[in-house]
A and B are shown apart, each in its own frame.
Chain A
């Protein structure tokens, strides 16, 4: 940020602003704002609006709430004092302008943080925007105040400071009621994103409390009621209307606004960028469908800049052209400023739209501006909405399938992956719920669980399909403790579906829909060791019986479970470092993980980060003639190191992952890491596939 202050572009923008602040006297400020502020500075009162009217002031002078007053108070105070002490007539205007400049710098800062881009990239679209300079310092409007508050509120929201965000937006609304236009979009964003939903209530609370305090109290003041609430600006909502014949009319603005809002609702899962684009569209509908005041155009500026930053040169030029035509139109038809030291007065509009000679020009310019604005909106939609990865993803959740023999750790891995995305966004479907009979049924004497015939795979496939469509699931769940089934209803959460089970990759209807298919294996010696330990140690069976049981199941495992390896993208096989001494390896957690990447070379970052950042031993082998790559990993790793290693990919997937992804230590963490990278790869191909 500091470096940007030395940039020539920044200095140029600053000099232009300071020149305008120092020498220009905008008509709006001379006729309205500065007299109002002067009246307040001279007679501080709880109802400055009433006081101003009592002194015979113009009722159009300050149709804004108390926050606007506070924002310009410091500059006005110093300015009025300087005028009194030094007799400098320009001083109050300088004070007023410096307040705007401070706010603009704040907007610049907030936009850098919000866009996460290098400050230099914002210089041209934002700092050198002729629209901003014209509105703030030549036309002299104050809309910068609510816009700063809105952008800072969005920044707070992005950083999960929901209550503060609510308060800030409340202040924005208290400064200018029109900021309320953004509220429905924020509500939709928070409500429709499972991850953000917990922010909904604190945000709402902060917002309502602030609006209530600052606005509702003011409503009791008669001056406020007359000047702010009686403002003629509200009636502009009804200016665009379509005659339906007879006396019936339809107002276009509420219709268009509702449509944009409905679109935002329908998207379901919105990325933050997309959410910003929707707020921008909401404001644009007001600009394009009302005879908007000059200052209103500042509302769309942050959203125009965001779109410009994200899109190519063509869109950026379109935005610039929109700004250029806007400035031209207003320079001709709106009030301007005078420069007393040079004896120039351009305060009154050059041309009047009411003049029949100029009407055509005015309409023509407005039409061009409207077309450019509409085109820009279209770009916002295509870029922000259609090209957003999340827009596509919102129609299709991420699906992970985990197959493997019993005791391989499917449920552990499934829940570890779920913890990366956040439990509130994940639907888990376990194959255990689809055993045909409960544990006490006589059929198990002739069939093992491993036999597909002992499982209701058709129902399994149907439920997976319904979960993918986000339908309500009514499933039979298997209780491992009692060995009985019970009935459960649950809502599908549409972000991530994890399907685990003995036959998760066996059913084609399920296998086809998987983004990542994992086969979970375990080295024979480790599996036997764990099973004997559990059944003998905890369940009191004899060793021979347990070994015999394992041997009896083996043919079915080879016949029904193992072949699923052929359908898996990756195979995890957990073993121990020293197969001759399983006992001590398990005790000291000296594990070895073999990972087979069945579709060729894995992402380069897996091996490099495991060696370079996690300090593990990694061997890579190409299994001849199969296109399969085998990676063997040994060593121990802390969740913190895995988290650090995953940071680059996690940053790219930020809006899909839990706010604090839970990483596991050791090999389970490595499996989480590899699964996440593979999911990311799969999403990338899904996205490139579309184009």
Chain B
């Protein structure tokens, strides 16, 4: 789906974070292998067993908590994993595994090409932008500082703060509220990697123009929910430049 057909300027841009601004899978893989090594060193658990228990721990935590930010907490997963090993609760060991996870995660994670330039371009054109992301604020803020994106957003909404996760409308509406703008349909752009969690709800509740960030070579998308598919942010920068070039926005008196 080409983004060339898009003709109206955004008033607000909302972005998802994980797997949208950086590719999640390689970072997660690197983090898990570092944690596996540590798990083996500290409690002698083999990697297959470790993976099995991690899946089980995650399943339990998610099942118990439902769609809230802490359901993604690696700290809780590792805590439960250690308990499943029959070791009772081990706060220090749990913290150690969690910190190892995020350090290795950030060490591998790299921004998708053109993200910073795109955000700069929006800044230049005076378009406010907000990050709408599931997960706890602590780790998301840390990621923002690590990627040097902490100055780039006018508002950040985490699901911890919103109380519910996407696709619930609450995080999206909170973001618009923080930006202090009311929006007509097509005035909001939503950029994310998940049709179901980012794009479909943004379309339904805000009437947003939606962009799917894809790291895979081919994607099949539901055409009604997705207006464009992008692989890097360079094309988005081009699009913004095109839309904002030429005449001044309507309603502004020129040279009077």
CA distance in complex: A640, B107 (Å): 11
- CA separation between A613 and B103, bound complex, in Å? 9
- In Å, the complex CA distance between A613 and B138 comes to 11
Q: Are B146 and A612 in contact (CB under 8 A)?
A: yes
A601-641 CB mask vs B (1 if < 8 Å, else 0) is: 00000001101110000000000000000000000001011
| Most chain B beta-carbon neighbours within 10 Å: one of A6, A613, A641 | A613
Report A607 CB to chain B, min CB distance, Å: 11
Contact B217 A612, beta carbon cutoff 8 Å: no
A640, B103: Cβ atoms under 8 Å?
A: yes
**Shortest beta-carbon distance from A608 to chain B in Å:** 6
- A613 near B217 with CB under 8 A, answer no
Q: A609 near B113 (CB under 8 angstroms)?
A: no
Known: A2-B217, A3-B231, A608-B150. A641 touches B145 (CB 8 A): no
Contact between B217 and A641 (Cβ–Cβ < 8 Å)? no
Does A118 count as interface, using CB distance less than 8 angstroms?
Answer: yes
Q: A612-B142, A641-B103 are in contact. Are A118 and B217 (CB under 8 A)?
A: no
CB-defined contacts of B146 to chain A, threshold 8 Å: 612-613
Is A181 an interface position by the 8 A CB rule? Answer: no
In the complex, chain A residues whose CB is within 8 Å of the CB of B100: 640
A2 to B217, CA, bound (A): 8
A647 within 8 A of B: yes
**Chain B 104-125 interface mask (CB, 8 Å, partner A; 1/0):** 0011000001000000000000
A interface size (C-beta, 8 A): 15
- Interface size class, chain B: 10 to 19
- Give chain B interface residues in 63-115, CB to chain A under 8 Å: 99-100, 103, 106-107, 113
**CB proximity of A116 to chain B, nearest CB, Å:** 12
Q: Indicate if the CB atoms of A647 and B231 lie closer than 8 Å.
A: no
Q: When the two chains form their complex, are residues B106 and A644 in contact, meaning their CB atoms are under 8 A apart?
A: yes
Please, which residues of chain B bring their CB within 8 A of the CB of A6?
Answer: 217, 231
Using an 8 Å CB-CB cutoff, how does the interface string of B188-219 with A read, 1 for contact, 0 for none? Answer: 00000000000000000000000000000100
In the bound complex, residues from chain A placing their C-beta under 8 Å from that of B217 are 2, 5-6
- Per DSSP, chain B at the interface is helix
Complex Cα spacing A333 to B141, Å? 64
A612 to B142, CA, bound (A): 6
Instruction: Give residues 117-146 of B contacting A (CB, 8 Å).
Output: 141-142, 144-146
> Main secondary structure on chain A at its contact with chain B?
helix
Distance from A314 Cβ to chain B, minimum over Cβ atoms (Å): 25
CB distance from A613 to the nearest CB of B (A): 6
Q: Which of B107, B113, B141 contacts A644 (CB 8 A)?
A: B107
Residue of A nearest to B102 (CB): A644
Check B145 against A609 for contact (C-beta < 8 Å): yes
Bound: A608/B146 CA distance, A: 9
**Residues of A361-413 whose CB lies within 8 A of B:** none
A 471-509 contacts with B by CB, 8 A: none
Q: Which residues in A have their C-beta under 8 angstroms from that of B145?
A: 608-609, 611-613
Q: Which of B107, B142, B144, B146 lies at the interface centre, i.e. has the most chain A CB atoms within 10 A of its CB?
A: B146
| Chain B hits for A5, CB < 8 A | 217
Contact A644 B142 (CB under 8 A): no
Interface centre among A5, A612, A647 (most CB of B within 10 A): A612
Query: Which residues of chain A from 632 to 658 have any CB-CB distance to chain B below 8 Å in the complex?
Result: 638, 640-641, 644, 647
Whether B107 and A612, one on each chain, are in contact in the complex, defined by CB atoms closer than 8 angstroms, is: no
Determine the residue in chain A with the shortest Cβ distance to B151: A608
Can you list 9 A-B contacts with CB-CB less than 8 angstroms, sorted by A residue number? A2-B217, A118-B113, A608-B150, A609-B145, A612-B150, A613-B142, A638-B99, A640-B100, A647-B107
B interface residue numbers (CB < 8 A to A): 99-100, 103, 106-107, 113, 141-142, 144-146, 150, 217, 231-232
Q: Which residues in A have some Cβ–Cβ distance to B below 8 Å?
A: 2-3, 5-6, 118, 608-609, 611-613, 638, 640-641, 644, 647
Known: A6-B217, A609-B145, A644-B106. 4 other contacts (CB 8 A): A612-B145, A613-B146, A640-B100, A640-B103
